Amino acid sequence: MAADIDTPLLEVRALSASYRTPAGAIRAVRDVSFDLRPGETLALVGESAAGKSSIGLALLGLLPSNASVDGGEARYRGEPLLGATPDRLRQLRGAEISMIFQDAQSALTPTISVGDQVAEVYAAHLRLSRKEARERAIARLREVLPDAERVAKAYPFQLSGGMAQRVMIAMATALSPRVIIADEPTASLDPSVRQETLGALERLRDEQGVGVLLITHDFGVVARLADRVAVMYAGELVEVVDVRTAFRAPRHPYTFGLLSSLPAYASERGQLVPMAGQPPDLSDLPPGCPFLPRCSKVTLRCRAEPAPALAAYAPVEADPQPAEAHPQPDEAHPQPGEAHLVACYNPIAVALRE
Ligand SMILES: Nc1ncnc2c1ncn2[C@@H]1O[C@H](COP(=O)(O)OP(=O)(O)OP(=O)(O)O)[C@@H](O)[C@H]1O
Ligand SMILES: [Mg+2]
């Protein structure tokens, strides 16, 4: 059955994952829920170690051997991902869901030539002969590189960062996947390759309806590409909202702090400046809200109880009714894409900019 345009490509519900380490379990992803729809870019933002990459790896069955998925569900066009067999995940990866990895150069296999790596994508999924796969690979590389034949013979260490990124995007998009998980796709690229990469993602989204889960620190990239923003803090999503509202009137004190500390706030070149304080130790989370030690809006409840689950934001001054009285996402068919969701007992009530 073909999924229609409104069917989410990805539905993630209460996903939790952790890493086993000698110092104890690192609870990197806790109760994370979101949807990704066709033609949509959802930006996953938050400081280093928030758990952003771990979400992408968990969805694709690529977590390292010391990690485990501890709970939740994830579906791709209705099909369960977390319980999928390794064979099914291999079929889905690349053909349906691709990941552009955080460090292109080290994500490529060092001992295999670039041409053979791209050819392998075709050979594995399309049952082509070596020769046919090789030809397809060269043709694909020609679309993104001026000197495809030479690059095809090279090994990853012989490529510049920008070149490796182009190869990675060529591989990730070779089979026209419906979902791309782009993990810091522009980090450490020079400005022209950065623009080119963002343009490529934009075209895939707008012309082919690809859903992009965009993991980034760079709010310039968020402003250019994202439709919605999911803000992650210490393993949890703390705010999910459309991009305009995220920049104009963020409600979670963490999002507010993150944005208001940008030197060129919301400008094309805005870079994230770390806020004062540090995220908590994910292997030893304190009671109460994990953002508490850095928060300007702490109440007694924030210390006494775990932070609330994401819920539709309800302006306190505008309406004295408790949040429960406001329209809530339908529990049988939750649609996290539509509401302004905030996980805070005492959200910010003023706009950051008009
Ligand atoms: N292989 C691993 N073994 C143990 N801990 C890990 C491993 N990979 C990640 N972690 C820990 O899990 C937490 C989440 O890491 P993750 O890489 O998902 O964060 P991130 O938000 O992608 O950060 P960054 O922005 O720096 O890429 C961090 O505390 C990190 O140290
Ligand atoms: Mg990461």
Domains of the chain (ranges plus CATH)? Answer: 10-96+177-342 (3.40.50.300)
28 lines ligand 1 (CB under 6 A): yes
Compute the distance between CA of residue 253 and CA of residue 264 in angstroms, rounded to an integer: 19
Q: Indicate which ligand has the atom closest to the C-alpha of 55.
A: 1
Mutational test site, ligand 1, from 20, 21, 26, max ligand atoms within 8 Å of CB: 26
216 lines ligand 1 (CB under 6 A): no
Please state the rounded mean pLDDT for residues 54-58. Answer: 97
The token duo for 36 is 């990704």
Compute the distance between CA of residue 141 and CA of residue 68 in angstroms, rounded to an integer: 36
CA of 50 to the centre of ligand 2 (A): 8
DSSP 3-state of 353: coil
CA of 130 to the centre of ligand 2 (A): 34
Model confidence at 326: pLDDT above 50? no
DSSP 3-state of 225: helix
Compute the distance between CA of residue 43 and CA of residue 40 in angstroms, rounded to an integer: 10
Average pLDDT, the chain: 88
Model confidence at 325: pLDDT above 70? no
Compute the distance between CA of residue 232 and CA of residue 54 in angstroms, rounded to an integer: 12
pLDDT top residue among 166 and 227: 227
Q: Considering only CA atoms, which of 103, 140, 148, 89 is closest in space to residue 119?
A: 140
Q: How many CB atoms lie within 10 A of CB 221?
A: 25
Q: DSSP class of residue 294?
A: G
Model confidence at 334: pLDDT above 70? no
Residue 273 pLDDT grade (very low, low, confident, very high; cuts 50, 70, 90): low
The token duo for 118 is 């791209």
Compute the distance between CA of residue 73 and CA of residue 84 in angstroms, rounded to an integer: 11
User: What tens digit of pLDDT does each residue of 188-214 get?
Assistant: 788 888 898 899 899 999 999 999 999
CA of 48 to the centre of ligand 2 (A): 7
pTM: 0.90
Model confidence at 329: pLDDT above 60? no
> Which protein residues have a CB closer than 5 Å to ligand 2 (ion)?
53
Q: Indicate which ligand has the atom closest to the C-alpha of 285.
A: 1
Residue 153 pLDDT grade (very low, low, confident, very high; cuts 50, 70, 90): very high
64 lines ligand 1 (CB under 6 A): yes
CA of 63 to the centre of ligand 2 (A): 12
Q: What are phi and psi of 100, to 5 degrees?
A: -95, 115
Q: How many CB atoms lie within 10 A of CB 91?
A: 14
19 lines ligand 1 (CB under 6 A): yes
54 lines ligand 1 (CB under 6 A): yes
Q: Indicate which ligand has the atom closest to the C-alpha of 54.
A: 1
Q: Between 191-208 and 161-172, two packed helices, what is the crossing angle to 10 degrees?
A: 10
Tell me the Ramachandran region of residue 288: left when phi exceeds 0, alpha when psi lies from -120 to 50, beta otherwise. Answer: left
What burial letters (b/e) apply to 95-123, b meaning 16+ CB within 10 Å?
bbbbbbbbebbebbeeeebbbbbbbbbbb
Atom 10 in ligand 1: which residue has the minimum CA distance?
19
Compute the distance between CA of residue 57 and CA of residue 47 in angstroms, rounded to an integer: 18
Atom 7 in ligand 1: which residue has the minimum CA distance?
19
